[in-house]
Amino acid sequence: MLKGLPESQTQKYEYRVEMINHRNPSSQVIREFASEFEVGECWGYNRFYRIDLLDREGYLNHEDDSITLKFFVRAPYYSQHCSDQERYITSLQKSIENKDKELKQLQENYQEAQKKLKNVQRPKKLKHSSQKEDALNDNSFSAGEAIEEGKQEEGQIA
């Protein structure tokens, strides 16, 4: 009903509106109609019930200052119901196709970005003390000697 019909086309639907009485649930206002609707058309019924009687007759809920309406809509013919469903299914399939295309594009963009990151050369770390680095790279130099050398350098800096 919301999507799928050509702009100039209208369709007839049957609908029923029930207003619940909060003081006496067995007392409800029920109206049934059949109307032609265009795509996206809003519905309003200014003579459904008199506003000044809502509170007095128990239809206004004082706890949350609301009224309760139940709204039912249906196509009058089974064939129309089937064509409405077919249009809706087609619209869902198109939506899925569009999402699949979008996902594929995002995956391609991600793969390109990953390739670019692999091709970027990372800058080498600056060396503060070539002796420390040589000590760490030289297997014959013990860890204890490297620590002692580091302590000596700290003493020189301080």
Model confidence over 83-100: pLDDT tens digits? Answer: 889 989 999 999 999 999
Whether 145 is in a domain gets the answer: no
> What's 34's domain CATH number?
2.60.210.10
Q: What is the pLDDT of residues 5-42, one digit of tens each?
A: 666 678 888 989 999 998 888 889 998 888 887 777 76
pTM above 0.85, yes or no: no
Examine the domain organization and report whether 22 and 50 are in the same domain.
yes
The pLDDT > 90 percentage for the chain reads 25
Domain extent for 88: 83-120
**All residues at 6 or more sequence positions from 153 whose CB lies less than 8 Å from its CB, including other chains:** 129, 132
